[in-house]
Structure 1
Amino acid sequence: MNCCGLITVQKEPVPLKSIEVELEVRDHVATVVSTLNYENKEDKPLEAVFVFPLPGDAAVCHFSAKIGQTQIVAEVKEKQEAREEYDDALSSGQQAFLLEESEQSPDIFTLSVGSLPPGESASIRLEYVTELAVQADDGLRFCLPAVLNPRYQPQDSEGASVQVTSVPASLVPYSLSFSARVSSPRPVSKVESNCSLDPLQYVNTEQTQATVKLAAGHKFDRDVELLIYYKDAHQPTAVVEAGQVSAKPGSLMGDPVVMLSLYPEFPQSVMSSVTSRGEFVFLLDRSGSMDFPMGNNGHQTRISSARDTLLLLLKSLPMGSYFNIYSFGSTYEHIFPKSMEYSEKTLEEAVKKVEEMTDDLGGTEILEPLKHIYSQPCIPNQPRQLFVFTDGEVCNTKEVINLVKKNSGSHRCFSFGIGEGASSALINGLAKEGGGHAQFITGNDRMQPKVMQSLRFALQPAVEDISVMWDLPKGVSVTVLSPPITSIFQGQRSLVYAQLTGESSEAAQGCVTVKYSLAGHPSQNQLNFSLKPAEDTGLTVHRLGARTLIRSLEMEEGDDEEQQDGGVKKKVVELSVQSGVSSSYTAFIAVNKGNSEPIEGPLVRRDIPLPMLSGMMRAQCCALSIQCNSFVFDEPADDAFEESEEMLSDKEYAEMVDVPTINQPPRDPLLQLVSLQKAPGCWLLDPALAAALGKTSEEVEKTKPSAVNQEVWATILALIWLHAFKIDAKEEWELLAMKAVSWLRAQNAPCVADYVEAGNALLGCKVQKDVVGL
């Protein structure tokens, strides 16, 4: 294993020495500046290749290199032209740098550092801007990806998979420093992280500006995740950014661009009537990598956490809805031939099948099960809701997202990225194109609360006929850069970018109105904003607007390859070059034309390794044992895992890589109670329920008031127990508790207050009947 961090059998050193990251967060948007410091300690010129992940919706907008005292700023050029210029520079002995985005997935970049002379140092500066996603608890999530998991290459697919060398974190030969500055119109209430942070420092008395940095001694062994919380987070806002002085008026970079953060609010009357219909299709990843531990405590694997979550979801579904469960790896399976009506019989069958699910299906081929789901006819008056659970290790990301987009009219897609290294491009793309919501479950996060929030979104009435109307001063016109809004959920943010052309006074006001139909009723939300440009925003909003437009163009259907290459590609290249923002058709190229003497000697290529998680070691050891001395993944990790599964036992794997084997902990009492609930919402009075409540059957039977029937008594006890002992997990069980309360009301049981009092006496608590919902 000690050889793992070195690329060749000869153990030559790796030239990447350190990474410095500075993050600036302004409200909903982040600017990230990374500096990569290289040093060639060999006695021959070196070409270093560094493959690394970025957020899937990031707009890379600056790339420069400093060699000695010489600074070279890269230009954006058409990709093939940039590659040829890079090769020409190397062959003529010049130093050159090439940064390009993967054609399969927009969250993977390759940086080639060419012709570093012996003993020379190079410092590379990379800058990108990205939107921050809103989490279930209203925190804004920033993620600095440290881990690029080997992406699975589907069978029969064209194009080579990105080759990644991964090493144990303790052997990563470079260091990371990370600092962040946060500013917002609203006070910053707190900043949390999955890594140790130094205390938050406020810069001003209003607490609208703050700084924070990673604590000393951080190992770059996981994604660095920041959660930023503002007071009054749900206020709609607008930022107008002035155009670039040197750019031509009328062009995207020459005109002002506005970014709107909209938070539509639904009438309370609509929100109180949660829909009781829908076809719920769950798609679960069962590839080999789902066996890795969740977080650092190693108590649960990704697959076991997903099984528990599916149980909660199944118990929370409304009566009268339809459902089915698909699972996939190299092949796929489904529990029912088609979606079935939710009943006690179908629920029991599904729960039994879910409990048997393991990570035994090989690779990560998500395309075929999606095609099968979309081939099934929709059920009239039962809106289709698709829930996708995956650790996101696929490399045909664009193909998968395109398929979801093609079928966006027939369903909503909710996606969940499980564990470190899940592709943000895949997870965000599925939700964005499928009109749903994306969630990431990393570190020691519990999957259940995030997934249940998405179920609440799915149970909200579908919003139809969405339109955005602009009211601007005379002489000012608007060009919307964002794709049309396809979904609106209560409390969820929608970002809209638009170019404003024409002259207006500093005091001028604009207004934007979002109109839509909700549960058959016309609704609207309005935002008034000043057209006066904000001060000191750089060109962040322009670049994000350009990136949004580039992404939309790249996603445009183009079955005719020639037409796509001609029309869409030309537009993307023009926009990318004009805005200085990366795309799949362009690359950043920097050539040091100033070095007078050509570099002598043959060029040696070095691939820079990436850190891997300890939980990934098992599959990677397999790959090492299969591939002998090759430390680059020539074949997918999941396949490697499959082929050598029989070679070593779990215990032997663990000993080999110094990872403790995962002993299944006793079942969570909450899940034990939830598993006993029946489809209509009630519980049965039996020994299993008594055990889940921590009582004997005799105690539960003896204290039952004589007038109450057994199922009503059992259900009241379960509800009291949830409110008394699991209130901190209310977001996980709230929907199934609502179902239980509805069932109880339908029974018209008398003397409910007396039954609740008797239940409190038995369980030793003081829960009021109105708290329970009765």
Structure 2
Amino acid sequence: MNCGLLNAEKEPVPLKSVEVELEVRDHVATVVSTLNYENKEDKPLEAVFVFPLPGDAAVCHFSAKIGQTEIVAEVKEKQKAREEYDDALSSGQQAFLLEESDQSPDIFSLSVGSLRPGESASIRLEYVTELAVQADEGLRFCLPAVLNPRYQPRGSEDVCIQVTSVPASLVPYSLSFSARVSSPRPVSKVESNCPLDALQYLNTEQTQATVKLAAGHKFDRDVELLIYYKDAHQPTAVVEAGQASAKPGSLMGDPVVMLSLYPEFPQAVMSSVASCGEFVFLLDRSGSMDGSRIKSARETLLLLLKSLPMGCYFNIYSFGSCHENIFPKSVEYSQKTMEEALKKKIEEMGADLGGTEILEPLKHIYSQPCIPSQPRQLFVFTDGEVGNTKEVINLVRKNSGSHRCFSFGIGEGASSALINGLAKEGGGHAQFITDTDRMQPKVMQSLRFALQPAVMDISVKWDLPKGVSVTALSPPITALFQGQRSLVYAQLTGQSSEAAEGCVTVKYSLAGHPSQNQLHFSLKPAEDTGRLPVHRLAARTLIGSLEIEERESRGEQEEGVKKKVVELSVQSGVSSAFTAFIAVNKGDGEVLQGPLVVRNVPTPRMMACCMPMPQYRKSFSPVVQFSDAGMEDFHVLQSSRCSLDVSESCLPKQPPRDPLLQLVSLQKASGCWVLDPALAAALGKTTREVEKPKPASVNQEVWGTILALIWLHGFKMDAQEEWELLAMKAVSWLRAQNAPCVTECVEAGNALLGCNMQKDALGI
């Protein structure tokens, strides 16, 4: 009978516990994970643990402790590291190997070799990563506790690492998690999708705080932290001193500066959103999108379509094992095309297309010629688990000159490498939406970005003291958005006094107007933490650029770039696609008795997926049936055809649970609302109640639109970011009507709805 820790297959599992310590300094996170193993079998074990990390993380330390002996791993060329690992095992030595997946930069495998019977080992893994800014200005940290098998496209080689996936209740190892947050600005709050102990401030200024995950956390979700600072959107520069032991003039030996830029665009330009563009929406309809995810995606498409400007073009694609598109090619946005998309197509969308073949629909979209004077904006919605991440990102990069790409990772386990990579290479913006989040606010923020004029001719100019030179480590900035952070890393070579200052100027053209933002900063290095997080992130950024260059080069040039990556990776101690961490305990070299048994450590499966799983989680095609309640938002659309002389029985029998979506669904493409029984119901009134106070000289569209605007401002200000764009469209429509008695209408509408909104507050 097997003993020890068991997985679902009754095999012993040597991983006992995972301890995670997070240190956040402003927007840079250092994560230290300790994995504790114990072999309770009577045979020597090799344990393989596969786990995700953020796609842009810089893994910078790996060590193992056996008893009182600690072995610190070295970074070596990947093939050499593998050979050294195999040689160590065959000679009876303990060895540990950590390497990045060849297919996706956010998947790592840890091999713990020759763990003797009864022996314990403690593995310490450290990485640094940048925290992304969310729609509500929070900084997002995610500890992926879920790794589902990645969907492998048909026809590709089976390169997926096979991992046992079990329900959370059966995962035989525990997690403890604590975080320390510090910033020049006060920490206003820390939120999480998991229960937390109370936030503890460490000083009276509230610039330092600690927080812990509450005891008893189950592995049924990623651990997500949202960190909020007061006055977060301030441009900053951090200068980090070089490593004393490194050679001056090298990346690790020189100071490195990290600039956080928050461009502020002229208000005159920002007040007029674009009225053109080709908006292409690409929606994941694979099996794992079933339930609340696909329903939320349909509601979000409704909001997006209502918020588009007249005169633009649009199309909607969906994909699974195959792909579909609503129109053969993008069509001009009008009441007719909007209704056709909503009524005939979106309401039928279910999570019923099987696997996740995202590459082919992208190829089809890029094969379509761009429409003159209509800049293409691509929105990609996916729960983001594919095995060919690098291939997908390469395709987006090759087509980056023809479009901007905005990506949305939906639900637990979405690949940060895929979601961030799509946006970064497509010059757009990435958002992550957990199953407890509302999708709409984040998507509408990205639509606002897409409607901003494209920033052109971006350049960065440095002004430094005499004797100090600068080497850019980041790729050129290709996209800037109002209020969104852009990071720039640079190496500073030469000597300067501690009191010296530098200046960086970002110049660009916005809607044909030249603009610039400037930041002055001190060259005095920040307090030394010993971890060199800025250097590590700068090295990872440069390594990423070189890896792209290697994929696009051939022959000797390809080998030359690969050699540069390996040299930089070894010098900085940061992992890459061509290197691995290797640690060997040379110890006594005693030959092990008996065969080495391989154990794959199971990873948790979300509770929603506790059904027996196929080899690839997303390759099954469940039959999806929609109840009337599931399509309620679109029934309202159909009822809006009724005229005023139709009885109240024409109204939907099951009004939507969400009154906001009910009202939004009734808006016309032009921006107006028509006074009819459906609108009356959405406002919580009868037809007679809304018709009676209408001034005689005002038509039904003007009256209906003013009532809708009053209701939005009066009852839904907490969701303003969701309806703001469609309200702007409604205001533009009203102004174009030159309607009489607008003030009288607002007063009458306030009286009807029980509000007290001023005309100016409505924007009319």
Identity across matched positions, percent: 84
* Structure 1 residue 622: Cα displacement: 4.2
> Bigger CA drift: 103-112 or 593-602?
593-602
Contact 1:241 1:537 in 2 (8 A): no
Contact 1:558 1:564 in 2 (8 A): no
Change (3 A) 1:274 1:559: closer
> Bigger CA drift: 563-572 or 82-91?
563-572
Contact 2:464 2:502 in 1 (8 A): yes
User: Within 5 Å, which residues of 2 pair with 1:341-740?
Assistant: 341-352=332-343, 353-538=345-530, 539-556=532-549, 558-559=551-552, 562-563=555-556, 565-618=558-611, 621-623=612-614, 635-639=615-619, 641-642=620-621, 645=622, 666-740=656-730
Task: Specify the code of the residue in structure 1 equivalent to 2:80.
Answer: E
The SS at the match of 2:610 is helix
The SS at the match of 2:445 is helix
Change (3 A) 1:432 1:673: same
The question of 1:313 aligning with 2:304 is answered yes
Contact 1:194 1:443 in 2 (8 A): no
The SS at the match of 1:22 is strand
Q: 2:742 aligns with which of 733, 752, 773?
A: 752
* Structure 1 residue 97: Cα displacement: 0.5
Residue deviations 1:38-88 (CA, integer Å, cap 9, x gap): 110111101100000101110000000011111111000111111111111
- Cα distance in structure 1, aligned partners of 2:607 and 2:173: 18
Contact 1:44 1:602 in 2 (8 A): yes
1:659 aligns to what? none
Q: 2:293 aligns with which of 292, 295, 302?
A: 302
The SS at the match of 2:129 is strand
The SS at the match of 1:637 is coil
Contact 1:7 1:607 in 2 (8 A): no
Residue deviations 1:132-177 (CA, integer Å, cap 9, x gap): 0011111111111101122110111235112222211111111111
- Cα distance in structure 2, aligned partners of 1:104 and 1:240: 34
1:217 aligns to what? 216
The question of 1:236 aligning with 2:229 is answered no
Task: Specify the code of the residue in structure 2 equivalent to 1:708.
Answer: V
The SS at the match of 1:394 is coil
- Cα distance in structure 2, aligned partners of 1:514 and 1:252: 24
* Structure 1 residue 563: Cα displacement: 4.1
Task: Specify the code of the residue in structure 2 equivalent to 1:571.
Answer: K
- Cα distance in structure 2, aligned partners of 1:6 and 1:414: 43
- Cα distance in structure 2, aligned partners of 1:677 and 1:148: 41
The SS at the match of 2:518 is strand
Task: Specify the code of the residue in structure 1 equivalent to 2:241.
Answer: A
Moved over 6 A (4+): 648-651
Contact 2:52 2:147 in 1 (8 A): yes
* Structure 1 residue 320: Cα displacement: 0.6
TM-score normalised by structure 1 residue count:
0.93
Contact 2:506 2:518 in 1 (8 A): yes
- Cα distance in structure 1, aligned partners of 2:60 and 2:720: 43
2:640 aligns to what? none
- Cα distance in structure 1, aligned partners of 2:313 and 2:58: 40
* Structure 1 residue 220: Cα displacement: 2.5
Q: 2:754 aligns with which of 756, 764, 769?
A: 764
- Cα distance in structure 1, aligned partners of 2:49 and 2:282: 34
The SS at the match of 2:466 is coil
1:286 aligns to what? 285
- Cα distance in structure 1, aligned partners of 2:553 and 2:448: 40
Residue deviations 1:579-602 (CA, integer Å, cap 9, x gap): 000011100001100134222111
Task: Specify the code of the residue in structure 2 equivalent to 1:97.
Answer: F
User: Within 5 Å, which residues of 2 pair with 1:317-336?
Assistant: 317-336=308-327
The question of 1:178 aligning with 2:168 is answered no
> Bigger CA drift: 700-709 or 306-315?
700-709
Change (3 A) 1:478 1:281: same
Change (3 A) 1:113 1:281: same
* Structure 1 residue 565: Cα displacement: 4.5
Residue deviations 1:175-205 (CA, integer Å, cap 9, x gap): 1111111111111111111111111111111
TM-score normalised by structure 2 residue count:
0.94
* Structure 1 residue 359: Cα displacement: 0.9
* Structure 1 residue 665: Cα displacement: 10
* Structure 1 residue 16: Cα displacement: 0.6
* Structure 1 residue 692: Cα displacement: 1.2
Contact 2:355 2:618 in 1 (8 A): yes
Equivalent residue pairs, number: 733
Contact 1:7 1:606 in 2 (8 A): no
- Cα distance in structure 2, aligned partners of 1:388 and 1:567: 35
Change (3 A) 1:762 1:412: same
- Cα distance in structure 2, aligned partners of 1:262 and 1:704: 50
- Cα distance in structure 1, aligned partners of 2:242 and 2:217: 40
Contact 1:96 1:115 in 2 (8 A): yes
Contact 1:466 1:514 in 2 (8 A): yes
The SS at the match of 1:453 is helix
* Structure 1 residue 19: Cα displacement: 0.6
Residue deviations 1:649-680 (CA, integer Å, cap 9, x gap): 999xxxxxxxxxxxx99441111111111000
Contact 2:461 2:504 in 1 (8 A): yes
- Cα distance in structure 2, aligned partners of 1:649 and 1:698: 37
The question of 1:120 aligning with 2:114 is answered no
Task: Specify the code of the residue in structure 1 equivalent to 2:295.
Answer: S
- Cα distance in structure 2, aligned partners of 1:177 and 1:156: 41
* Structure 1 residue 559: Cα displacement: 4.7
Contact 1:392 1:423 in 2 (8 A): yes
1:42 aligns to what? 41
- Cα distance in structure 1, aligned partners of 2:711 and 2:625: 41
Change (3 A) 1:665 1:121: farther
* Structure 1 residue 437: Cα displacement: 0.6
